[in-house]
Each structure stands twice: as structure tokens, then as C-alpha cells.
Amino acid sequence: MARKGSDYTSKCNVFFCRGHQFEDNKATVQAYKPGQVVNIVLDIINHHPWGYANVSVIDLATNMAIGSPLIAWNACFKSGYPYPNSEEDAKKLESV
């Protein structure tokens, strides 16, 4: 990955939370109980017509994903805009 900007640091893991790190976001951490259902809104800000996205649970102590992503859109953006609204819509777009 190319360096971009004078504030770049290789310690920033851009593949988690858009590169946001725990130290910068302590006030936004939320805790949930196993089995708890949580409604979320995912705003995909994508300035190019292809790519992938996922929503994962991250262990803050290890900075590693816990298990598989809760939902993932694997290269379904190849069909361009509009983006899928749900996993079912993503599967439909992947077959295009």
C-alpha cells in the first residue's frame, strides 16, 4: 500500500474499521451479550464501482476478527451501482 499523507503510520490496520484504531475510538466501543440481536446500519461510502465489504466482530485485545463475518459482500459490486440492500440482494447481484 502506498504512503499517502504525512500522518501515515504502518501501525494503522486499514483492513479493520476503515483504519480506525481502538485508541482513537474508545468512546464508541459497544458491548453485547452472546445471542443478542443488534440492528445496524451500514453506510457504504464507495467512490469506485467495484470492491467488497463485510461486517465483522473484532477482538480489541488481539485486533483479530472473531469467527466469520456477520455479513459479507464479496466482489458483488462488479455490477456497479446500486449497492445491495441485503445479503439476498447481494447474492442476486453476484449471479449477474
Instruction: Locate the domains of the chain by residue range.
Output: 44-96
Per-residue pLDDT of the chain (96 residues), as tens digits, is 455 556 656 665 655 656 566 777 788 888 889 899 988 776 666 555 566 667 788 887 787 888 988 877 666 555 555 666 666 776 666 665
- CA 71, CA 24: separation in Å to the nearest integer? 25
Instruction: Label residue 71 exposed, middle or buried (CB < 10 Å: 0-12, 13-18, 19+).
Output: middle
Among 8, 11, 15, 10, residue whose Cα is nearest residue 64: 15
Question: How many CB atoms are closer than 10 A to CB 77?
Answer: 21
Among 76, 51, 56, residue whose Cα is nearest residue 67: 56
